[in-house]
Amino acid sequence: MSKEISEALEIHQFMNERNVIMSFMGELTHQVTTSLLKNLKDDMSVTNVDFVTQKRLYGIIVECLDNIVKHWIAIDIKRILGRSSPPIFILSRHDNFYYIITGNHIPNDQIDSLIKKIDTVNALDKKGLQEYYRQTLAKESPLDRDNAGLGIIDIGLKSGNKLEYEFRTVTPTVSFYVIQAKISM
Amino acid sequence: MNVLIIEPSDFSPKVIFDPAKNLFEISGESRPENTSKFYVPILEWLVQYQSVLYWEKDKFGEGTSHVFEFKFDYFNSTSAKFIMDVLMQLDKMAQDGFSIKVKWYYDKRDEDMKESGEEFSKLLKKLPVEFIET
């Protein structure tokens, strides 16, 4: 057995054990996102749960994928690293939770504000998050319109659980950013 | 005033603003690839329509009542900002004395959609928002 086949079997076994419903690694465009979301809507492992969980799960995944697309457009990672290093998206289900994990490169100068935002979301209860959402919605920021900052708050609201994250420095200018949201089944 | 019709797609809502039929409706899913490109024409149409309403009011006195119906299945956070802009524009028209009202539809199982509408309405000054369970 070749090394490649052996590795593929290991990856399959790992994904199987972790109950991975859907995973994607590659160039994430709006078209790819739409295709993934269409598959998700038809996936029985997701459609057999209650309506509210389905909708919240869908909303979290849209926000996570939208974030990847925004960062993917903003960073020319191939030029920075000298090789391709696409983002990753994993949806799995275990221990009565759905787990949504995304990983993508972001500029190091955005890390502090992102950590601040996630920590703020994690510190708030539902009422606090709704208030924070409303304040952010009311802010006039036409230049920042496509990155209004509502996404993380929306994920926090829909998830109902703390968000977990990790940053791995890749170069002096870029890090790999992983965020995990989970929602009760 | 021209009719504004935008056909729906897998990721953008259907829009019908038809003054002749007094029909104003946005429905479906909203997560356009370029949110600004999708919503700016809607906002521009509303600004123009406000001018028409002023002209009608000057010429004929009190105009007709308008009901704008929002029937979203889902909208992403980037769309939320633009939906707020649409509501703000309608609110401006209501503050200027025009008879404008919003009907916010939501699936009876979808408490989140109702709450989103309530969050929007808290930021409005005069525009009445009626919540309708379907």
Query: pLDDT tens digits for B99-120?
Result: 999 999 999 999 999 999 999 9
* Domain range list for chain B: 4-133
CA dihedral angle for residue A118, residue A69, residue A145, residue A158, rounded to 10 degrees: -40
Provide ipTM, 2 decimals.
0.91
CA angle B90, B74, A121 (to 5 degrees): 90
More confident residue, A77 or B127: B127
Suggest the residue from A35, A145, A157 to mutate for an interface test with chain B (most B CBs closer than 10 A).
A145
pLDDT surpasses 80 at A62: yes
Q: Is A52 on the interface with B (CB under 8 A)?
A: yes
Closest C-alpha among A117, A130, A137, A122 to residue A182: A122
Asked if residue B124 lies in contact with residue B88, where contact means CB atoms within 8 angstroms, the answer is yes
Tokens of B28: 């479906």
Estimate the crossing angle of helix A30-42 against helix A51-74, to 10 degrees. Answer: 160
Nearest CB to B77: which of A30, A130, A150? Answer: A150
The predicted-structure confidence for B42-98, as pLDDT tens digits, reads as follows: 999 999 999 988 888 877 777 789 999 999 999 999 999 999 999 999 999 999 999
Contact between A146 and A70 (Cβ < 8 Å): yes
End-to-end CA distance of chain B: 31
∠A31-A33-A34 over CA atoms, to 5°? 65
DSSP code of residue A25: E
Report the share of chain B in percent with pLDDT over 90: 87
The secondary structure of residue A17, as a DSSP letter, is H
Per-residue pLDDT band at A143 (split at 50, 70, 90): very low
Mean pLDDT computed over every residue of chain A:
89
Name B39's Cβ contacts closer than 8 Å, sequence gap at least 6. B32, B79, B82, B83, B85, B86
Contact A148 B77 (CB under 8 A): yes
Instruction: Name the pLDDT band for A132 (thresholds 50, 70, 90).
Output: very high
What confidence score (pLDDT) does residue B25 get?
98
pLDDT at A74 over 90: no
Q: Which of A30, A130, A148 comes nearest B119 by C-beta? A: A130
The shortest CB-CB distance from A34 to any of B10, B74, B120 is to B10
Domain A3-184, CATH number (from 1.10.3470, 3.30.1120, 3.30.565, 3.90.550) = 3.30.565
How are strands ordered across the β-sheet holding A88-94? A20-25, A88-94, A97-107, A174-184, A164-169
Alpha helix (H) residue ranges in A75-110 = 77-81
Decide if A146 and B31 are in contact by the 8 Å CB cutoff: no
> If DSSP codes are grouped into helix, strand and coil, which group holds residue B24?
strand
Please provide the distance, in angstroms rounded to a whole number, between the alpha carbons at the two ends of chain A: 39
What's the predicted TM-score (pTM) here?
A: 0.92
The pLDDT of residue A147: 54
Maximum alpha-carbon separation in chain B? 46
Which tokens belong to A122?
Answer: 């994690």
What does the pLDDT average to over A33-57? 86
Nearest to A181 by CA among A168, A160, A170, A124: A160
Question: Of A42-46, A116-120, B5-9, B34-38, which range is least confident?
Answer: A42-46
| Cβ neighbours of A128 in B, within 8 Å | none
Q: What are phi and psi of B61, to 5 degrees?
A: 85, -145
Please list the alpha-helical segments (H only) found in chain A: 3-17, 30-42, 44-47, 51-74, 77-81, 111-123, 126-138, 150-159
- The DSSP H or E segment spanning A88 is strand A88-94
